[in-house]
Amino acid sequence: MQKILVANRGEIALRIMRTIRNMGIRTVAVFSEADRNAPHVLFADEAVCLGPAPSSDSYLNGDKIITFAKELNVDGIHPGYGFLSENAVFAQKVTDAGIKFIGPPPSAMRIMGSKLAAKECVKQYNIPMVPGLDEAIEDIKLAKKVAGEIGYPVLIKASAGGGGKGMRVVEKEADLEEQMQRAVSEAISAFGDGAVFIEKYVSSPRHIEIQVLADEFGNTVHLFERECSIQRRHQKVVEESPSVILTPAIREKMGAAAVMVAKACNYSSTGTVEFLMDDKLNFYFLEMNTRLQVEHPVTEMITGLDLVEEQIKIARGEPLSFKQEDLSINGHALELRVYAEDPFNDFLPSIGKLEKYVIPSGEGIRVDDGYTEGMDIPIYYDPMIAKLVAYGKDRNQALQRMRSAISHYIIEGVSTTLPFGAFVMEHPAFVSGNFDTHFVKSYFAAAHLKEAQEKKARMAALAVLRYYLDEQEKLKPVDNRSTSWKRRLS
Amino acid sequence: MEKNSKQYQVKVNDFVFSFTQNEVMHADIVKQSPNDFHILQNNSAAHVHIMDADLSRRAFKAVVEGEIFFAEIKNELDLLIDSMGYTDAASTKLTSIKAPMPGLVLEISVKPGQEVSAGDKLLILEAMKMENSILIQDSAVIKSVAVKPGQAVEKGQLLVELE
């Protein structure tokens, strides 16, 4: 491959292009009219404008991207995550255009892209699954009957879903109808497919996923787990690897199950098999994400692999250069997603200009970002500013480095999840490892952040007063009794 | 309180603190440079950096452990003027609901004249592909609805007026 187009924006486009360039391959960026100044455009060897800011007119316009790719003699297209990354139709069109799609085969994307088809596909492999109805449901009466049989609380999920969109927890029958309508309408707007299904809502669940890597010759390995239980609105904010609660035996069992899921759909490239784990360490297959995940850096930190490089090698038709027994976990890594959101106000999006933007650095600290000082956070796209990753020889060191990095990350102009990250990294439940996906609901209230903020504000008050009084002192005449001063002043 | 110690009030973001000059001068503050302070308070330590200072308005910008704060100092004269009530009395009654974020109005659940009570849904706003129900915090009567379904709104834009 001589030239690769990255069909994405922001931090992930930049992160992918860095690896491409390191491999001696030319990079092509695509961008919308809102992103002309974005770092991913400034970084690339070549760049093409796709159209107006809304995603549907730009980053989601697969046909336009393929047309440009052909004009520019591109050999491969990397979709990143989000946008077209899990769109099997796009992957097929890329392939049909004679360009290599850097990702899994379209057939695997089609199966895993539908949660229902995915369940069907892995059924014969004895992989444990959450109780529920394995088919799309529309009729509210039937939904009520099914939910009653499984027992409340139940979870309504969009079949085409991901990232918490189109997903609703229903505590009691009275709420089912309204929540189902919301889920269907969210699913239609986000995925163009309103099919939803119902399953048992596992209480005290942990979200643990296994990274898999497969070449085109059927060699499949797993790169251990990522613990992603710290979520808000069903979306991950903090991830880590390894998980504190997995024993080597369970890790091996989950790894083997994940490899089986990948093999079941003839997978190649990077993929993630998500599991739900209950408080007794039983795990259930949730879904497979057929893309590079946002949180892939924690896996890179503990394995020493560059997952984008592996994807490109696999796409070039090379076999994996290692086997499962060659892989081991080295150290501990944590990731905090820095979103332009207000944790003091229910994590609502916070849009604005990055008046000040200074990233932390230091041993074991990695920042994947796609913004620079003075840039606006556009309302059209995902509000993630950066991924802050901290690596250490053990979890304590990684935690300490993360805390220090958060306190050196300066962002002015928008609210971010940084204060929330500081809260998590200090919280006894997180520090001890005894937490589940209800962490935010159970422990977090804006009042906690407010308390921590008030302490800092008090320090700020003292400092500015001291500064002010010192300045006042300077303005005073050196000696009030000096007659010469008086004379001169008068 | 000592006789010659002046009273100051510092507003930092939403917080208000009161100090006397003596309290500040006797607090455990080490000046590391004209703009950098190390403070110990009840054994908690913090580095504070003054980024901006507008001495005439007594307005400052300070960074404490990575977090940026806006501070305003009021002296005894300012406080006296405040206490005499020359500043606007904050109106406590909510008269309008504004968009808490930019987004797209998906659905409106109320109409003019309707009585609503705390927790009722006014409308649904979609931002970054998430649907957010905008609820009312207190009971009220809807005066008018300023937006239509499908309309894009900016942060702070008027959505609903209340009686």
String of DSSP letters for A254-319: HHHHHHHHHHHTT--EEEEEEEEE-TTS-EEEEEEE-S--TTHHHHHHHH---HHHHHHHHHTTPP
The winner for highest mean pLDDT among A315-324, A375-384, B55-64 is: A315-324
Closest-CA residue of B relative to A405 is: B66
Per-residue pLDDT at A163 exceeds 80 = no
Average pLDDT over residues A279-287: 90
How far does the CA of residue B4 sit from the closest CA of chain A (Å)? Answer: 14
What's residue A375's pLDDT? 94
What mean pLDDT comes out for the span B30-50?
A: 93
Residue A490 has pLDDT above 70, yes or no: no
CA distance A108 to A88: 8
More confident position, B82 or A265: A265
Residue A273 has phi, psi (to 5 degrees) of -105, 120
Using the predicted structure, report yes or no on whether residue A271 has a pLDDT greater than 50: yes
pLDDT given at position B85: 64
Q: Cβ(B56)–Cβ(B49) under 8 Å? A: no
Distances (CA, A) of A266 to A108, A227, A295, B114: 6, 26, 24, 58
Query: Who has greater pLDDT, A472 or A460?
Result: A460
pLDDT at B91 over 50: no
Q: What is the DSSP string of A376-405?
A: B--TTS--EEEEEEEEESSHHHHHHHHHHH
Average pLDDT (A440-458) is 92
Strand partners, A206: A277
> Chain A residues with CB inside 8 Å of B21's CB?
469
pLDDT digits (tens, 9 = 90+) for A23-56: 999 999 999 999 999 999 999 999 999 999 999 9
Q: Token pair of A378, please?
A: 């556009």
Query: Is B126 close to A189, i.e. CB distance below 8 A?
Result: yes
Each residue of A85-112: pLDDT tens digit?
999 999 999 999 999 999 999 999 999 9
Q: Is the pLDDT of residue A196 over 60?
A: yes
Q: Does B8 sit within 8 Å of A465, measured CB to CB? A: yes
Per-residue pLDDT for A457 more than 80?
yes
Cα angle: B114, vertex B119, B125; to 5 degrees: 80
Q: Give chain B's mean pLDDT.
A: 86
Does the pLDDT of residue A263 top 70, yes or no?
A: yes
* Spatial separation of the C-alpha atoms in residues B60 and B71, rounded to whole Å: 5
Q: What is the mean pLDDT of residues A104-129?
A: 91
Question: What does the pLDDT read at residue A477?
Answer: 62
- Choose from A377-381, A413-417, B95-99, B135-139 the range with maximum mean pLDDT: A413-417
Is residue A483 very low, low, confident or very high in pLDDT (cuts 50, 70, 90)? Answer: very low
Task: Search chain B and give the residue with CA nearest A414.
Answer: B68
| Ranges A11-20, A260-269, B5-14: which has the least confidence | B5-14
A78-82, A176-180, A386-390: which range is least confident on average? A176-180
Kindly determine whether residue B128 and residue A349, on different chains, have CB atoms separated by under 8 Å.
yes
What's the whole-number mean pLDDT along residues A415-425? 96
Task: Indicate yes or no: CB of B127 within 8 angstroms of CB of A348.
Answer: yes
User: Is B21 in Cβ contact with A453 (below 8 Å)?
Assistant: no
Contact B13 A456 (CB under 8 A): no
Sheet of strand B115-116, all strands in order from the earlier edge strand to the far edge: B96-98, B158-162, B140-145, B115-116
Nearest-by-CA chain A residue for B19: A462
pLDDT (mean) for A148-168:
82
Using an 8 Å CB-CB cutoff, list chain A residues near B15: 453-454, 457-458, 461
Residue A212 has pLDDT above 60, yes or no: yes
Number of CB pairs < 8 Å for A and B?
Answer: 136
- Residue A151, pLDDT > 60, answer yes
A377 contacts in chain B (CB < 8 Å) = none
Percent of chain A with pLDDT over 90: 72
In the chain, the amino acid numbered A29 is A
Beta-carbon separation of B100 and A419 below 8 A: no
Contact A165 B46 (CB under 8 A): no
The secondary element (H helix, E strand) that includes residue A39 is: helix A39-43
Residues of chain A with Cβ-Cβ distance to B53 below 8 Å are 464, 467-468, 471
Minimal Cβ distance to B17: which of A350, A379, A461? A461
Please judge whether A349 and B10 are an interchain contact, meaning their C-beta atoms are less than 8 angstroms apart. Answer: no
State yes or no: pLDDT of A134 exceeds 80: no
> Rounded mean pLDDT of A173-197?
85
β-pair partners for B52: B61
Higher pLDDT pick, A141 / A211:
A211
Averaged confidence pLDDT in chain A: 92
B34 neighbourhood in chain A, CB within 8 Å: 467, 470
Give the pLDDT of residue B92: 55
Mutate to test the interface with B, among A459, A472, A473 (most CBs of B within 10 A): A459
Q: What is the DSSP string of A49-72?
A: EEESSSGGGTTT-HHHHHHHHHHT
- Specify the pLDDT at position A190: 77
Q: Which residues of A touch B41 (CB under 8 A)?
A: 458-459, 462
Q: A201-205, A236-240, A363-367, B48-52: which has the minimum mean pLDDT?
A: A201-205
Distance from CA of A184 to the nearest CA of B (A): 12
Q: In which element (H, E) is residue B15 found?
A: strand B15-20
Inter-chain touch A461–B44, beta carbons under 8 Å: no
Angle at A417 between CA A416 and CA A418, to 5 degrees: 90
Band the pLDDT of A350: cuts 50, 70, 90: confident
Give the tens place of pLDDT for each residue, A431-448: 999 999 999 999 999 888
Considering only CA atoms, which of A288, A166, A188 is closest in space to residue A234?
A166
Point out the least confidently predicted range of A305-309, A332-336, A434-438, B89-93.
B89-93
Region A121-131: mean pLDDT is 88
Dist CA A429 CA A438 (whole Å): 11
Q: How many CB atoms lie within 10 A of CB A124?
A: 8
Q: What gap in Å lies between CA A92 and CA B79, rounded to an integer?
A: 70
Amino acid at B145: V
Interface test with A, best of B24, B31, B74, B120 (most A CBs within 10 A): B24
The residue of chain B nearest to residue A339, with distances taken between CA atoms, is B128
Best of A181, A338, A465 to substitute, by most chain B Cβ atoms within 10 angstroms, is A465
Residue B1, pLDDT score: 44
ipTM of the complex: 0.71
For A59, the token pair is 């980053």
DSSP state of B6: P
pLDDT band at B10 (very low <50, low <70, confident <90, very high): very high
Residue (of B61, B85, B59) closest to B73 by Cα position: B59
pLDDT of amino acid B89: 47
Do the bridges between strand A269-277 and strand A356-358 make them parallel or antiparallel, or are there none, so unpaired? unpaired
Residues of A involved in catalysis:
291
3-state class (DSSP) for residue A248: helix
Q: How far is CA A257 from the centre of its chain?
A: 23
Chain A residue with CA closest to B10: the answer is: A461
Q: Write out the residues of chain A at the interface with chain B, using a CB-CB cutoff of 8 A.
A: 165, 182, 185-186, 189-190, 233, 345, 348-351, 356, 379, 381-383, 406-410, 412, 418-419, 453-471
The answer to whether the Cα torsion of B109, B113, B115, B118 is positive or negative is positive
Choose among B24, B35, B129: nearest Cβ to A465: B24
pLDDT at A480 over 70: no
Q: Which pLDDT score is estimated for A290?
A: 97
